[in-house]
Amino acid sequence: MNALTLRGVTKTFRDADAVRDLSLEVRGGSIFGLLGPNGAGKTTAIRMIVDILAPDAGEILVLGQRFTRSLKRRVGYLPEERGLYGEMTVEELLRFFAAIREIEPSAARQRIGRWLERVGLSHAAAKKPRELSKGMAQKIQFVVAVLHEPELLILDEPFSGFDPVNVELMQKIIFDLRERGTTILFSTHQMEHVEQMCDEICLMNRARAVLAGPLREIKRRFGANTLRLDFTGPDTFLSADLVQSVQRYGTHTEVRLLEGASAPELLRRAIAAGAHVRRFEEVEPSLHNIFISTVGGES
């Protein structure tokens, strides 16, 4: 069963498309990545999913139905713009949101204590949000989003502002939620997070979906002509008649060949050009390179 379905969803602001003809399906119990550069339309799409904005055209089904007031109890949402009531303590704030979600006080106390411990903020229960660091406040807002144990959890740029230790912590929590049956959709422009976590993706650019499907299938489709090279010396062999794109990293170069181009021919030219090749292997392309290959100079 799909936890989320969008069919032909469009939103326009002042004659400019924010989202155009977006269709996607998110399977129940999966982690789905909505990715693309800033301004691609990700946040607008999410705001339509959670009924903050109404689409100009198309259909959105959340957990099999149109969004209603009662459905909000089954959905968790972490917005991109963070904000907490500054004069309540953290514990008072979480109790307030628990009451809004109609969680029994005794159950709320247990969940609040458990979640504060899980995100490493048990010591902050008596603090006010304005006394917290940006990262700590972001964790509290995440707790707000999951406190009512939603079936569908929607996270807009959930890793923004976190250091690597806290990124790893949040990733583990998201994996644990998925293991318990929660469906997670998150947006990001940081493709390495999607690469590490997602079952399926939708890549957006300039308001449209340009690539969508299971991540493994997409990588397999784009991986047939992707090579990883570690070499020193001239790079003149990376010529336009063989190579579609080149991405240089600190320790290696990732090359996508043109359709029909030969990997052995590239190696032959590298040696003939005087390059010293230490590694030459076929690999899955990174999402970054898939994006560059898909949208070119249009982003």
Tokens representing 34?
């909505």
130 and 36 in a single domain? The answer is: yes
Residues 189, 191, 196, 201, CA torsion sign: positive
In tens, the pLDDT along 124-169 reads 999 998 888 888 989 999 999 999 999 999 999 999 878 999 999 9
Average pLDDT, integer, range 224-245: 91
* C-alpha distances in Å from residue 162, one per residue of 41, 112, 128, 181, 185: 23, 22, 20, 25, 19
In this prediction, residue 69 carries a pLDDT of 85
- Average pLDDT over every residue of 12-29: 95
Q: Are residues 114 and 97 in the same domain?
A: yes
d(CA 46, CA 157): 11
Query: What is the model's pLDDT at position 294?
Result: 79
What is the pTM assigned to this prediction?
A: 0.83
Residues 156 and 35 in one domain: yes
The last residue of one of the domains, among 162, 188, 218, is 218
Long-range CB pairs of 280-284, under 8 A, 24+ apart, other chains included: 280/227, 280/228, 280/229, 280/230, 280/231, 281/227, 281/228, 282/223, 282/226, 282/227, 282/228, 283/223, 283/226, 283/227, 283/228, 283/254, 284/219, 284/220, 284/222, 284/223, 284/226
Average pLDDT over residues 32-41: 91
Q: Are 75 and 152 in contact (CB under 8 A)?
A: yes
pLDDT of the residue at 249: 86
The predicted structure's pLDDT at residue 172: 97
Q: Which domain holds residue 30?
A: 2-218
Same domain (yes/no): 50, 136 = yes
Number of domains in the chain: 2
Partners of 205 in the beta sheet?
208
